[in-house]
Chains A and B, each alone.
Chain A
Amino acid sequence: MVSESPSRIVITGVGASTPLGNSFSEIGDALQAGRSGIDWYDAGTFNRYQKHAAATVKELRIRKEKDTLVSTEYFENSSRIEQFMIRPASHALADAGINPKADSSEPKKRIGIIAGIGAEQLKDWERDFLDNGRDVFEASRQPSLVHRVAQMLGVNGPATTVAAACASSGYALAIGKTWLTTGLVDACVVGGCDVLSPTALAAFHNLRALSRRDDDPQKASRPFDRNRDGFVMGEGGVFFVLERQHAAKDRQCKIYGELAGVGMSSDASHMVTPCSDPVEASRAITEALADANLSPEQVDYINAHAAGTPVGDAAEAGAIRNAFGPVAAKIPVSSTKSMSGHLISAAAAFEALACLVAIERNMIPPTINLDNPDEDCCLRHVPHQSIASPVHVAASNSFGFGGSNLCLVLKSAA
């Protein structure tokens, strides 16, 4: 059996392209202000019959001086989903002070990369199809996005894509932690990305998973509210650099926080609908706390998965109460999807970032639009406005189609 390194795993770099901003501080400001990134979205010619609320990334470009790993030409010729990986991943490496291409150490640092992406090929085929291409009719075997980006960034360690639906990027963080703990890599770029597409919007709409409120898009995402009627899709990418704590301290780089614990389980109940029995979801939370060697009383903030679906939010509230017991009534809970929308494959990474913001600013981001909390979702909510509160430990839940449950525990580095 692998003997575990005593070293803790910490986050030393952050990169993001999201509906709430393109940097840690921009996103932090939006979360603190309770600002929504949701607006009307034009799904294009092929989805012309529906008007959707959605959270899009308005500005997606790179700055030459910071992105030394990426040529502007390469970036501009890349697909949108590729840009949602290239930009955040290269920014995270730059933020951590790591340039794999300029590594002169011997032996070289082994850097891995793990991307949470649920349906990369579907998005590629769709983009090509909409441009009258034939890729979906005559698909060729090619490396997945993560391998192409790894090569471009000069990342020399193992690379992989993982998918657990809406928990995908959380699994990337969980696996990255293990790669570091076992010494497979010296640093690991982890996160996820996703992109809005006409097919995905139509599919989720036809599943009746999306909100159908057509009055005000910024009111459409209302997790835990009695009048919630589905989620609002979003897009973007969020990546981190993970390192062992002693290595990060040796390099004297900024430490955003510690990835202290991970827990994973499956409902094994239904391919789409969350299980109403909270046992498995709460097991993921309990395992994450055990992995972090923390008790429920030590958690200062819970970033809920709560996407705004009637069944899912109530199921999660039950899982939180089950895992935390009586303490659940005291821990502030919010769903940042009320502001960011649901970033699907990138959601768990975005919400880990929200937890890091909460830790850095000692601030609990709010659940906006929570006008009438549903009694089936009884928790200590933080409606409408952020609150100042010490945050040393934050837990972030993510649940996905196919019954995947994941909880990450993040801790201040202090």
Chain B
Amino acid sequence: MNHSLSSSADLSAVCLVDSYATASVYYSDVDALSREKYSYGCHSLPPRFLRHADEQTVIGMYSIVQAMATDTHDSRDISNDAVIAATCLAGQPSAARTMIGLRDKGPVAVTPHIVPQCSLHSVASAASVGFGMHGPNFGVGGGLHAPAEGFLLALTLAPMLAKTSPSSRIWLVCTGWDQQPTLDANGDLTNDPICRGMTFVLKPGMAQTHDEPQPSIQFSSLKNTSSVDILPAHGRLKELCEQIEKGTRTTVAITDTCAIEISSLSSIQPFVRSDDAVFLKEAA
């Protein structure tokens, strides 16, 4: 590790990956997915919890439940865990319909749910409220750098959380569209894009030296790296998911010199629900 980022840098923060999951859904199936029962083990969402939720919240929560299913600590207490949600251009269809309503019918037509359900913090808050996680919850990104910012903030929060709540973990949820929705003048979609979610369950930990290390994420330097496999900070979530699912080590750039390295996750078996096909069509 290169510590030359600053004269006193100590970028040894590490998060061990206890679990991860990826999920995707076509826009046309989001409504049905939002009515699913979201539960695993002792953790479950209240009924109809997602009825006003944005599409990215729905897929984010779905990926959380999938990550719970592969979690080696699935029965453990998550009540003090933290949630970071990195979303990219969330809330667009709802925003369009809200603005059409405002223009045509006035302020009475503006749904009060637009603020709590379609803001940058919405996915993190939904996870915190829905699953009873009392650690910090916040959203990051919002634009095309969102996944990279999510990993950066997870490593940022790790030392803080380790100090205040040593047994707590971080649920990093990244969401985004493969292609942004396009809407007509009435606010109806003219395409059926795929919405994608990815959840990492991260344990603030120590750098490992033993032979079979647990998968982890940590800072690395780009200064002496010429690898073509580095994903740019503005890379799409789809590409990141595909890279991770290959089981290879993945590097995501943060700045010109700093990156985050995600070690191979091949030792973690992604959980696949038997009824996935109902909601998750084969991606084109």
Give A residues with C-beta under 8 Å from B.
Answer: 1-5, 7, 46-50, 107, 110, 117-122, 125-126, 129, 136-145, 147, 156-165, 168, 171, 174-175, 178-179, 181-186, 198-207, 244, 262-272, 280, 283, 287, 290-291, 400-404
Contact = CB atoms under 8 A, between A and B. Distances in A.
B206 A1 contact: yes
Interface in B138-156: 138-145, 149, 152-153, 156
Contacts of A125: 92, 95-96, 99
B156 A137 contact: no
A271 B159 contact: no
Contacts, number: 278
A404 B138 contact: yes
Contacts of B10: 2-3, 5, 182-183
Nearest to B258: A158
Interface stretch (B29-37, B67-75, B177-185, B269-277): B177-185
24 contacts: A1-B205, A2-B159, A46-B102, A107-B4, A122-B91, A138-B180, A144-B143, A162-B139, A163-B119, A165-B116, A182-B9, A182-B156, A183-B7, A185-B6, A186-B7, A203-B115, A206-B111, A265-B136, A266-B137, A267-B134, A268-B129, A401-B115, A402-B121, A402-B137
Interface in B95-151: 95-96, 98-99, 102-103, 106-108, 110-112, 114-122, 124-126, 128-129, 131-145, 149
Given A119-B119, A182-B13, A402-B116, A147 B143 contact: yes
Interface in B155-209: 156-160, 162-164, 180-185, 204-206
B106 A184 contact: no
A144 B146 CA distance: 9
Given A47-B102, A174-B160, 4 more contacts: A50-B107, A168-B138, A272-B116, A290-B164
B225 interface: no
| Secondary structure of the A contact surface, majority rule | mixed
Contacts of B234: 143
Given A50-B107, A122-B95, A183 B11 contact: yes
Given A49-B108, A122-B91, A140-B180, A183 B5 contact: yes
A106 B89 CA distance: 38
A3 B10 CA distance: 7
A243 B108 CA distance: 47
A290 to B, nearest CB: 8
A122 B119 contact: yes
Contact of A143 (B5, B90, B144): B144
A141 B135 contact: no
Nearest to A128: B99
B113 to A, nearest CB: 8
B8 interface: yes
Given A158-B152, A178-B156, A269-B129, A121 B13 contact: no
Nearest to A141: B144
B55 to A, nearest CB: 13
Nearest to B113: A203
Contacts of A200: 115
Contacts of B6: 110, 183-186
Given A168-B121, A199-B99, A137 B140 contact: no
Nearest to B114: A203
A129 B11 contact: no
Listed residue (B3, B138, B160) with the most chain A CB atoms within 10 angstroms of its CB: B138
B142 A161 contact: yes
